[in-house]
Amino acid sequence: MPEFTQAQQRAELHKTIWSIADDLRGSVDGWDFKQYILGILFYRFISESLCEYLNEAEPDPDFDYTKLTDEEAEFGREATVAEKGFFILPSELFQTVRASVMQGAANQNENLEHLNETLERAFKNIEASAIGTESEKDLKGLFDDMDVNSAKLGNTVTERNKKLAKLLEKIGSLDFGGEFKDNRIDAFGDAYEYLMNMYASNAGKSGGEFFTPQDVSELLARITLIGREEAEIKRVYDPCCGSGSLLLKFSKIFGNDADIDYFGQEINLTTYNLCRINMFLHDINFDKFDIALGDTLKEPAHWDYEPFDSIVSNPPYSIKWEGKSNPTNINDPRFSPAGVLAPESKADLAFTMHMLSWLATDGTAAIVEFPGVLYRGGAEGKIRKYLVSNNYVEAIIQLPKEMFFGTSIATCIIVLKKSKTTNDVLFIDASEEHSREGTRNIFTEDNMQKILLTLEAREEVEYFSKLVPNDEIVENDANLSVSSYVEKEDTREQINIEELNAEIKKIVAREQELRDQIDAIVADLEA
């Protein structure tokens, strides 16, 4: 079998996904489509991952878990769940079901006829295998959004099963040029990110509201790592984790073997499930992540684990929250230090205060902010004054417009630290640091390096960065808008006034000459 390069593997992956999209076109709409692709993709992943684990654990090189009977496999259930977090019987493995379905399709037998029942039973049994164990909360409900009996797949059971059979066939046909363990890319994780990009870019707010583009996610993660060693990063956190793309950038940077625990909270049930699936698809074991469902501001889930070494987040822009309508909020240790609460109609700085509260003394937080947060008055102005006066603001970075799905707004990044050594804020105008890709702007590696190097050096660069003392910012109503401090380069064409005046004189003289000539002609005609 030929050896596949990383690029070839990724190209094969994307080609197959588009092929599946073509097969299901007109049957499953847009954003809903991802549930079936990701569900089956996840099913294949955990099946192959389990088989690899069990096969490698056996001293017999010819051992093959897929060849065992269900009765023989049961003996290893308890130990497998303790290590992997789940268990799958040989008869319910992705490989087994797919082979049976493909045979059924060829022979028109009942294997295909009852595919929906087979898959539903397998999914329920996988989740049930974790009941009563430490991994229960990580497995529970992972397949809830993949309804194998949905009318979206077809009006009859037969039509639905044909669609499901195609899904199994296509997902199973992904060829990366080797065994599961030999994949040169994070195959399943890459598929997830590709799908999320594909759908978020077309789904508007429904998709874009909880998916942060990969380049922005990487920038946020790398900002929190400036000046720090890998060993210093033990716990990373995102209080509005969405699909988990920000958290997983740390695994991309450090590798899956890094001793890092991932914590996140998400209020949307579907997105919460997607995030947990994303963790598994990126080969993060259940004992290395804790993703909670719920409202972070109202019911934060990780009191027992804070503070966190790195915090990255892209909170929802200017959503409503309880604010002062709940009298307990002003006494909440997360919000009370500022002496005022974020407006009920704009929770942005409530999230910021929450993250600052849970940030380790030597940690760094990088948070995407709606631009209005940085200059609006009232309670938001008072909170900014608290942040600046107490020397928590490390930097403000202006991002280009059209970077995020579902909005064209040019957002900003606020960088927070609790142990700064200087009493100033570095303002960076990165609004022109981008390249165009499709309908959005993206960061290239050069763009990111320029931002990161400037941030690390804390240096001033004409038209790009400016260091401003805290007291000067406070005197300016704690305005944190980058445009208030970094001068924009005047790219308009420079006009030489003297040359222009000389040219105007020539034109006026020529006009007079022409008038005289016309007058002479008219006089001749009248004579």
The predicted pLDDT at position 2 comes to 47
- Contact at 8 Å (CB) between 65 and 54? yes
What average pLDDT does range 47-76 have in this prediction?
93
Residue range 124-176, pLDDT digits in tens: 999 999 999 999 999 999 998 888 998 888 889 988 898 899 889 888 887 65
- Rounded CA gap, 224 and 6, in Å? 28
Q: Which residue has the higher pLDDT, 203 or 422?
A: 422
- Predicted confidence band of residue 328 (pLDDT cuts 50, 70, 90): very high
Q: Give how far Cα 199 sits from Cα of 269, 380, 493, Å.
A: 18, 34, 42
Looking at domain 6-202, its CATH class is mainly alpha
Q: Residue 184: pLDDT above 50?
A: no
Q: Give how far Cα 189 sits from Cα of 5, 243, 305, Å.
A: 17, 12, 26
Q: Residue 180: pLDDT above 60?
A: no
| Same fold flag, 6-202 and 206-484 | no
Q: Domain ranges in the chain?
A: 6-202, 206-484, 495-527
Q: Which residue has the higher pLDDT, 210 or 384?
A: 384
The predicted pLDDT at position 185 comes to 45
What average pLDDT does range 283-294 have in this prediction?
93
Nearest to 116 by CA among 152, 95, 147, 70: 147
Instruction: Supply the pTM of this predicted model.
Output: 0.85
Q: Which residue has the higher pLDDT, 406 or 92?
A: 92
Residue range 291-310, pLDDT digits in tens: 999 999 999 999 999 999 99
Q: Residue 25: pLDDT above 70?
A: no
Residue 66 is classified by DSSP as G
Which fold, 206-484? Answer: Rossmann fold (3.40.50)
What average pLDDT does range 478-488 have in this prediction?
93
What average pLDDT does range 285-289 have in this prediction?
92
Residue range 336-385, pLDDT digits in tens: 999 999 999 999 999 999 999 999 999 999 999 999 999 999 999 999 99
Q: Residue 48: pLDDT above 60?
A: yes
Q: Residue 231: pLDDT above 90?
A: no
442 phi and psi angles, rounded to 5 deg: -130, 160
The predicted pLDDT at position 378 comes to 95
